[in-house]
Amino acid sequence: MITPSAIFHLAFPVLDLDRARDFYGGILGCQTGRESARWIDFNFFGHQLVAHLVEPEDHPAVASNTVDNQAVPAAHFGVILPWSEYPDLVARLEQAAVPFVIQPYLRFAGCRGEQKTLFVRDPSGNYLEFKALRDADMLFATQLDSPQ
């Protein structure tokens, strides 16, 4: 079984701290920590996420790659949720009318790596992926598409 052994820290650019607080704190339910006039710490599913205020011209553009016939943003971050928690997150996103960049769907159905995934953008245009694996031990497996 895969268990977290360390907490990761990710700093990322945002264009508006109030909108970031509404999205990460309000919609995703992340608690806030320290903050200043230029950044906010969020408890992002047990990890430290820091939203740093930048000017629009300093926000990076994002290229994409094709995966499962979907244009997956090359720069993105997110979490892998327990299978049972994924539907609750989908419902919260839908209730808040957050548009899906990639609609929730099932990958590798009936295979060892069966997983649910979706992509959204935060108010600053940062891409997030949320996924859940039916068997968390398959997270780093090299053969996901073979039958169970």
Q: What are the structural domains, with CATH classification, of the chain? A: 9-55+62-138 (3.10.180.10)
Average pLDDT, stretch 20-33? 97
**Tens of pLDDT along 93-107?**
999 999 999 999 999
The long-range contacts involving 54-60, CB below 8 angstroms and separated by at least 24 positions, are: 54/13, 54/14, 54/15, 56/15, 58/13, 59/13, 59/15, 59/124, 59/125, 60/13
Query: Stretch 5-23: mean pLDDT, rounded?
Result: 94
From 82-91, 119-128, 132-141, the region with the lowest mean pLDDT: 132-141
Chain-centroid distance, C-alpha 148:
27
pLDDT at 62: 85
How confident is the prediction for the chain on average, in pLDDT? Answer: 92
Is this prediction's pTM over 0.95? no
Average pLDDT over residues 23-38: 97
Q: Band of the pLDDT at 26, cuts 50, 70, 90?
A: very high
Q: Return d(Cα 62, Cα 26) in angstroms, integer.
A: 25
| Residue 147: band (very low, low, confident or very high) from pLDDT cuts 50, 70, 90 | low
